[in-house]
């Protein structure tokens, strides 16, 4: 009879502690606001896991503390405790029950992944370039932006590329986090559903300034986004018309820093991961196949667009991404104009 009483008391205490831990954890407000359609199933799964964590914490701690207090050795008690050996029923229970829970969580996780990756054929594409240590955003209308503008309630697919090492795209309010592996284009789908200002930060240790690799993200109403897009498209067309046939070394110098060229190509003759740009224009470049080529505009343009076309002696092939996929022809012309000035 006394054993039943202990069991009832412990069961009630486990229930109370479970509720207390769950309410305590969720009232701390540790999660940022939900700002995407994808964050709802993710937070649902997270909430379920916190409930399970609260229950198992109580299930372990309550019987332990209860036993320490209630079953203490009484004063004057000198005998050994009761000897207990094995309990097949209990062994099977605590093997099968966790197995079912883990499989169940696996199924829920897979279903969650299916929900957050569901494809909307109307999704708009935006290019994302990550490099040490910055982000830039390319709109298919032909312009770049320093801020990632997104329309609310519209799925976007970010086509993400890294120019150097692995970075990771993370807006905590969107919940979904995605690594960007150099050498491939990685898709990231999100449907922002809350107008506001956010920050994308890099979530993969990527070198010295990893901690400052941040850029603003603004989610606008559909009308504001349409206006911003048309304003910038008009500006981009006007700029492209003005720049057509007028490569500019100044703009090329900005791209040299912005696009990460400086990581591998020095301007002072120092040998880096790639050949220095000092005195490069017009020089004779020895190639890996034993031939020599003159570094004229055509060679420089080709080497930026498709670096694998001609491999320079003493430098490995495949170290440089195909910037033809990332830069516009006018930008490559600007870079070549800049290289021509580095004497």
**Interface residues with ligand CUA (CB under 6 A)?**
133, 167, 202, 204-206, 210, 213
User: Between residues 257 and 294, which has the closer beta carbon with respect to ligand CUA?
Assistant: 257
Minimum Å distance from CB 163 to ligand CUA?
A: 11
Locus of tokens 């890294």: 162
Beta-carbon contacts of 162 under 8 Å, excluding residues fewer than 6 positions away, are: 129, 130, 131, 180, 181, 182
User: Between residues 210 and 305, which has the closer beta carbon with respect to ligand CUA?
Assistant: 210
- In a 13 Å sphere around the CA of 293, the CA atoms on its Cβ side amount to 16
User: Between residues 148 and 220, which has the closer beta carbon with respect to ligand CUA?
Assistant: 148
Q: Which two tokens stand for residue 47?
A: 């909430």
Return d(Cα 58, Cα 10) in angstroms, integer. Answer: 10
User: Between residues 207 and 279, which has the closer beta carbon with respect to ligand CUA?
Assistant: 207
Return d(Cα 96, Cα 90) in angstroms, integer. Answer: 10
User: Between residues 109 and 207, which has the closer beta carbon with respect to ligand CUA?
Assistant: 207
Cα angle for residues 123, 164, 113 (degrees, 5° grid): 40
Q: Which two tokens stand for residue 238?
A: 């006007």
Instruction: Give the pairing of strands 156-162 and 124-131.
Output: parallel
Minimum Å distance from CB 270 to ligand CUA?
A: 24
Phi-psi region at 175: left, alpha or beta (left = phi > 0; alpha = psi -120 to 50): left
User: Between residues 119 and 205, which has the closer beta carbon with respect to ligand CUA?
Assistant: 205
Minimum Å distance from CB 129 to ligand CUA?
A: 12
User: Between residues 213 and 336, which has the closer beta carbon with respect to ligand CUA?
Assistant: 213
Minimum Å distance from CB 321 to ligand CUA?
A: 16
Minimum Å distance from CB 131 to ligand CUA?
A: 8
Residue 150 near residue 243, CB atoms below 8 Å: no
Minimum Å distance from CB 159 to ligand CUA?
A: 17
Cα angle for residues 12, 13, 19 (degrees, 5° grid): 95
Minimum Å distance from CB 216 to ligand CUA?
A: 16
Beta-carbon contacts of 207 under 8 Å, excluding residues fewer than 6 positions away, are: 132, 133, 165
């Amino acid at each position: 009879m006394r054993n039943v009483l202990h069991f009832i008391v412990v069961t009630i205490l486990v229930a109370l502690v479970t509720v207390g831990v769950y309410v305590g954890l969720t009232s701390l407000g540790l999660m940022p606001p939900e700002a995407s359609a994808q964050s709802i199933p993710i937070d649902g799964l997270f909430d379920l896991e916190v409930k399970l964590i609260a229950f198992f914490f109580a299930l372990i701690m309550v019987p332990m503390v209860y036993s320490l207090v209630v079953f203490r050795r009484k004063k004057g008690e000198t005998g050994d405790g009761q000897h207990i050996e094995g309990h097949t029923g209990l062994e099977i229970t605590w093997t099968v029950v966790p197995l079912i829970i883990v499989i169940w969580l696996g199924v829920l996780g897979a279903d969650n992944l299916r929900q957050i990756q569901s494809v909307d054929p109307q999704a708009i594409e935006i290019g994302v370039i990550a490099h040490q240590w910055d982000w830039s955003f390319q709109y298919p209308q032909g312009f770049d932006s320093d801020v990632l503008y997104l329309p609310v309630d519209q799925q976007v697919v970010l086509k993400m590329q890294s120019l150097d090492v692995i970075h990771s795209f993370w807006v905590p309010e969107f919940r979904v986090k995605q690594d960007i592996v150099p050498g491939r284009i990685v898709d990231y789908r999100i449907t922002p559903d809350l107008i506001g200002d956010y920050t994308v930060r890099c979530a993969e240790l990527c070198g010295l300034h990893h901690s400052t690799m941040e850029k603003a993200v603004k989610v606008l109403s559909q009308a504001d986004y349409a206006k911003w897009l048309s304003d910038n498209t008009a500006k981009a067309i006007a700029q492209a018309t003005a720049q057509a046939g007028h490569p500019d070394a100044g703009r090329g110098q900005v791209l040299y820093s912005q696009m990460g060229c400086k990581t591998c190509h020095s301007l002072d003759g120092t040998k880096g991961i790639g050949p220095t740009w000092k005195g490069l224009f017009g020089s004779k470049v020895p190639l890996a196949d034993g031939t020599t080529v003159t570094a004229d505009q055509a060679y420089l343009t080709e080497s930026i667009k498709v670096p694998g076309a001609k491999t320079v002696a003493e430098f490995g092939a495949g170290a440089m991404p195909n910037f033809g996929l990332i830069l516009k022809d006018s930008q490559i012309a600007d870079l070549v104009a800049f290289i021509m000035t580095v004497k």
